[in-house]
Amino acid sequence: MSRRYFEYVYSEICLAVNRRISRYGLWLLVWESGGDPDDLSSHQAREFVEHHLSTLLAEEGLRLEGRRRKRLEKSIIRYNPDHPTPEEWMSA
């Protein structure tokens, strides 16, 4: 895979919290959680969401509760970088 998965995770988190977060902070947390941001797999993304997403949000001073959090988690876990997102398809 490519860096597309990391970029997708970054943009989905930013959209969910309605502001930009630190891309470098996210990169470091993914790396510390055992993932490779430049070659992120679905397993690594799942591990990050399940165990480190709360840490990232706390470091940014953000809270994401209830349905919005579940929607974000589901979106990140279900993402398939082999298929373009509607946004990528429309921009091409």
For the chain, what percent of residues have pLDDT higher than 70?
Answer: 98
Buried b / exposed e across 25-40, counting CB within 10 Å, b at 16+?
A: ebeebbeebebebeeb
Alpha carbon distance, N-terminus to C-terminus of the chain: 20
At residue 1 the predicted structure's pLDDT band, cuts being 50, 70 and 90, is: very low
Of the candidates 52, 5, 6, the residue with the CA atom closest to the CA atom of residue 27: 6
Average the pLDDT over 2-16 and give the result. Answer: 90
Average the pLDDT over 73-77 and give the result. Answer: 92
8 Å CB contact between 9 and 26: yes
